[in-house]
Amino acid sequence: MTFELVVTSTALTEAQTKKLEVALQENFSKVRYSADLTSEVQILVINKSDPFKHWLKSKKFMYVTKYRPDVRVIKFDDVCNRKEEHRSASLLKIPQVTPFEGLQISLCRLEDGLLEKIQSVIESNGGKVIHHLTNETDVMVSMVAEGKRYEAALKWGVIVVSPDWCYDSVDRGLTLNTKYYKLLQNMAGVVTRLNYEGEEDRTGSERVVKTYRLGRRADACDWEKLKEWRENEHARNLEDYIKSKLEKTEHKKHSVGTANKNSSDDTNEENYTVLDGNTTAFNSSKRHISQLDLVEDEDKVVKIKKVGKAGELWNSVMHKDKKANLKLANVKALQNNTREPKCPILQGLKFRTIGYSSTENQKLAKVIAKFGGKVAADPEDEVNFTVVNFKCNEVVHGHNLITELAIERFIFNEKVDAGDYLWCKPFFIDETTPVSVFKEKFFISDGETGKAVKVKVSITGFEGTDLSQMERLLKEKLSPWVEFRQTFSQACQLLVVGLSGHTSTGRLRKQQLARRWNIPALLVEDFYTKVLELSSM
């Protein structure tokens, strides 16, 4: 049977997961449920009614928000409350969740103008704004990292973020990970205000201006990937519209009369309006506030006034009022309070690439440069890593060999860990190696399948980049010997379990089934060790 959609869920209880699977089977056609967030998944179901908001911190949701614009996030209640007569309906018709739906957001120590704008943004995107702090507050938005409410928020475990988290979340269309927008301690700068009114000596006056840093927008989401996906989605919508219009035009050829003509024109106009609404939906979600002036672009510091003083100065910054007597000059950063910006992940590292086409080389070099690294142009240059194409199936020599999968792990884990490569080093297995040798290495009997039949392998306990990379390892690198199975069943011959430090309900359930069905289960560390043993044969 061919399935149209693959659905997964996150932060649901075992009972809710079973209810979801039943609802998908009974109320929708051509839908398959997967316990893991695989590359085939198109729908992620979350429980917005969860009082503890477990979905907000789940790894699946955070990964989708950051890297998977192609995955649609919908509510558990919207799926399970569908009636049986809607079986022919598509899950894609269920609206995606709004960025702040179900969240209680406290606003603290914001300027009046900004307070109103942020409140409007949050409420128009499903959130509830409160102007006090309770233990039910999910997120607090503030410009000043001090005060009783700020201290209480830290004590109660409430996340405090800078205002740009709100606007960036709307840009993405989903709630961004708050760790990239954690409100940092205020810095201070001595600023001379060139306002000579009432001052005979016309020397101006100095005051301390409060500041806060913008969040790490570039790290919160793969914006280039999001932009590319939206452009492709727009092209697909336009193509579908043109096709439907041509089909209707062809149909209208068989009809005559003014009434039919008018009806056709009305229909076309209506379709155009729908298309225009779809293609411009993102524009309506753009920021409602002009970007604040920066002290220094590199440091991403936003000037804000000390609460209750210098209203004219703050208004000039917020509204970019260019009055001559309100310009800021002679900014003197105080040495004691200056914070160094966080270095890019690949800062200072040099790479050499092997086995890539010119197009692939350009893309890889662009990614490395984006995160602070550099690709050596001269073959004689000393490098920190030699990056070998993952698909390369021949012995390669070089310094500190890795594949592009290692680059992905460095970026996703936000650290360069030389001991955490796992399957990210290049290896070579002779393609003439028979399947029977692979089975012997993993102690798998031929049974009734025969020696030449590939080993049916399923995986569990993988998340984020580990999941996508493990899929590639099985589907591409080990494809001569392995048949990758998305769904774990009694027909599988081997279960590969994710990193030993991670446990989940889905992983434990599959391991229990493996024991019941006498299917070997290996930790990924042991599985990869045996794969390397095969490559050295």
The whole-number pLDDT of residue 110 equals 87
- Give the DSSP H/E element, type plus range, for residue 329: strand 328-333
User: Which single residue is written with the structure tokens 């092997």?
Assistant: 354
Residue 430, in any domain of the structure: no
Residue 56, in any domain of the structure: yes
Residues 477 and 522 in one domain: yes
Long-range contacts of 186-189 (CB under 8 A, 24+ apart): 186/144, 186/145, 186/146, 186/210, 186/211, 186/212, 187/211, 187/212, 187/213, 187/301, 187/333, 187/334, 187/337, 187/338, 187/339, 188/334, 188/337, 189/295, 189/303, 189/331, 189/332, 189/333, 189/334
Q: Which of 424, 458, 475 is the last residue of a domain?
A: 424
Residues 174 and 147 in one domain: yes
Amino acid identity of residue 301, one-letter, is V
Q: Which of 35, 65, 93 is the last residue of a domain?
A: 93
Q: Which of 324, 341, 358 is the last residue of a domain?
A: 341
> What are the tens digits of pLDDT across the range 177-200?
999 999 986 555 444 444 444 445
Residues 307 and 246 in one domain: no
pTM, 2 dp: 0.55
Residues 213 and 252 in one domain: no
Residues 80 and 18 in one domain: yes
The whole-number pLDDT of residue 77 equals 92
Residues 442 and 480 in one domain: yes
Residues 380 and 519 in one domain: no
Residues 134 and 212 in one domain: yes
Residue 394, in any domain of the structure: yes
Residue 45 in tokens: 């179901």
For the chain, how many structural domains are there in total? 5
The whole-number pLDDT of residue 284 equals 43
- Dihedral of CA 512/40/424/458: which sign? positive
Residue 101, in any domain of the structure: no
Q: Are strands 187-193 and 205-213 parallel, antiparallel or unpaired?
A: antiparallel
Any alpha helices (H) in 280-325, and if so which ranges?
281-284, 311-318
What is residue 222's three-state secondary structure? Answer: coil
pLDDT < 70 positions in the chain: 1-3, 83-89, 185-211, 238-342, 418-421, 446-451, 499-507, 537
Residues 302 and 371 in one domain: no
Residues 274 and 292 in one domain: no
Boundaries of domain holding 15: 5-93
The whole-number pLDDT of residue 65 equals 96
Residues 257 and 318 in one domain: no
Residue 205, in any domain of the structure: yes
* 310 CB neighbour count, 10 Å cutoff: 18
Residues 199 and 316 in one domain: yes
Residue 102, in any domain of the structure: no
Q: Name the maximum alpha-carbon separation found in the chain.
A: 101
Region of 499 please: left (phi>0), alpha (psi -120 to 50) or beta: beta
Residue 127, in any domain of the structure: yes
The whole-number pLDDT of residue 166 equals 95
Q: Determine the Cα angle at 50 with ends 49 and 53, to 5°.
A: 120
Contact yes or no for 66/222 (Cβ under 8 A): yes
Amino acid identity of residue 452, one-letter, is A
Residue 15's alpha-carbon distances to 19, 22, 52, 53, 148, in angstroms, are 6, 11, 17, 17, 41
Residue 533 in tokens: 């043993």
**CATH code for the domain of 19:** 3.40.50.10190
Residue 98, in any domain of the structure: no
